[in-house]
Structure 1
């Protein structure tokens, strides 16, 4: 049986927020430069293309209303983590994004969740990625490592802590993508040595992504187990995915990249 035939897509449930008020008004990561103009209409078109791709792949997409004055709310992944029927809402490191927590907590409550809050900073699925029966948890720039134990207790899952060391990859979802329950892709230089060792032990078949692709946020990708939606510029990573039996689906999100985010940042996944 060819390798590709063993890859199986599953229907996913995503939450997205339109970039109605998207702008780069401040700089809280290396990608942001308020001096660079942002075309909001183009950002909306690019975002809507991503939404339509998810729908065409058969996934459920729910929309959260954007809030004026919260230009980064389009990066829905940072709103929290939802898994095992439990929800943890984000506690942001920067005051500019703090009010997003309340907006996403309201979504969780409307959908029947109790929105648990942590004492320490956590930036949702930016740093908390479900991989099978474990939660991969980033720290080093945003999420406080002390929040990992809080989150493990809240969602009832073991947490694997991974330290990020390159400020360009300030969230875990900029340096690592979960492709299926047993497979990840990551950019090794984004992590310290113990974390790289941990990843190689846990995921011996991991795809190691080169700098040229990592620097266009190739790893800020979303997978349903077969289709992998990723930045269109990440052609090297796309070739690696094809060779591993996945189906890469490129999308252009150049305007949203100006805020330091791409496919995964725009996508909050509701895990079963």
Structure 2
């Protein structure tokens, strides 16, 4: 594996071998925005599911092609590497057992939203994934969560529900129903802002937007404006005037499907443009190879449900 030394240009990133420890992109201090203070990570707790039964046998999003070859072994290597990244950064990873016949169960983010110990489960739009919701619900109940609500309306959890630390951004347009946003507010007891997605490639909110810093008085996000309706763009501009703006190159590799702990930002290996932008804002990008998992439409965030107890 070729590593990226401190101060090396982000564009110099070499491919990270599957299963290897990804490189960090660390800009020189002079390259960082002068108004940026030192970023502070906060310990996180995640729920993940190994892709032991991973395959692409159906197509429920534009990234899936059942005719294309898929390597389960490579997907497992990439998943284990992602888990090691989180644990290496000091975060705790819980694991739910995979279930045969549910190849997309690896995408844990779609099966629950946890804020303040309250859990809102999932209700999938596609029949192929419907059974995942009950397995995750049982995990929550077996692990001490007393307040678990299962939605009536289609709700694909953190795929379309993003907690900023102050309010919940809720996506609709392709998967999660608008009525589910009101359900989320009632179940989780937090304010909800609805956003409409318009690009079929970016069918979940977590493919078009993610939170970089949820700890301060002013949350910081990164997003790709063309993924949203004109009105939703205006809402995002008003709420997050200092946001990091991604480009089409980032979107084409699901680069917005990232995970941040307030300092380290885990991104797909190919998202070098976005990595450069967040590095200039004082964050430390960590690039991971998720190319096999992306064949099913997933990236780092799709594989990662945050347990906010």
TM > 0.5: yes
Q: In the TM superposition, what whole-angstrom CA distance separates every residue of 1:99-126 from its partner, at most 9, and x where no partner exists?
A: 0000100111012223201110000100
Quote the Cα distance in structure 2 between the aligned partners of 1:133 and 1:24: 37
* Structure 1 stretches of at least 4 aligned residues deviating more than 2 Å after TM superposition: 1-6
Name the residue aligned to 1:144: 177
SS of equivalent residue, structure 1 residue 109: helix
The match for 2:123 is: 91
Separation of aligned partners in 1, 2:35 and 2:128:
46
Greater Cα radius of gyration, structure 1 or 2: 2
Q: Is the 8 A contact 1:177 1:220 kept in 2?
A: yes
Give, in angstroms, the shift of residue 134 of structure 1. Answer: 0.3
Q: What is the aligned counterpart of 1:254 among 275, 282, 291?
A: 291
Match of 2:188 in 1: 155
- What is the aligned partner in structure 2 of residue 175 from structure 1? 208
Instruction: Tell me the CA shift for residue 7 of structure 1.
Output: 1.2
Q: Which residue of the other structure, out of 28, 49, 54, is the alignment partner of 1:17?
A: 49
Which position in structure 1 is the counterpart of 2:162?
129
Count, aligned residues: 272
Q: CA RMSD in A?
A: 1.1
Corresponding residue SS for 2:178:
coil
Give the aligned partner of residue 46 of structure 1: 78
1:1-272 paired onto structure 2 within 5 Å: 3=35, 5-113=37-145, 114-181=147-214, 182-272=219-309
Distance 1:259 1:120 in 2: 24
Secondary structure at 2:267 match in 1: strand
Residue 3 and residue 48 in structure 1: after superposition, are their counterparts in 2 closer, same or farther (change >3 A)?
farther
Question: What TM-score results when the alignment is normalised by the length of structure 1?
Answer: 0.98
Q: Which runs of 5+ in 1 are unaligned?
A: none
Q: Secondary structure at the match of 1:261?
A: coil
Gap regions ≥5 residues in structure 2: 1-32
Structure 2 CA distance for aligned equivalents of residues 103 and 37 of structure 1: 28
CA distance, structure 2, for counterparts of residue 235 and residue 39 of structure 1: 25
Structure having the higher strand fraction is 1
Please report the TM-score for the alignment, with normalisation by the length of structure 2.
0.87
Mapped partners of 1:214, 1:243: distance in 2: 19
Which residue is 2:11 aligned to? none
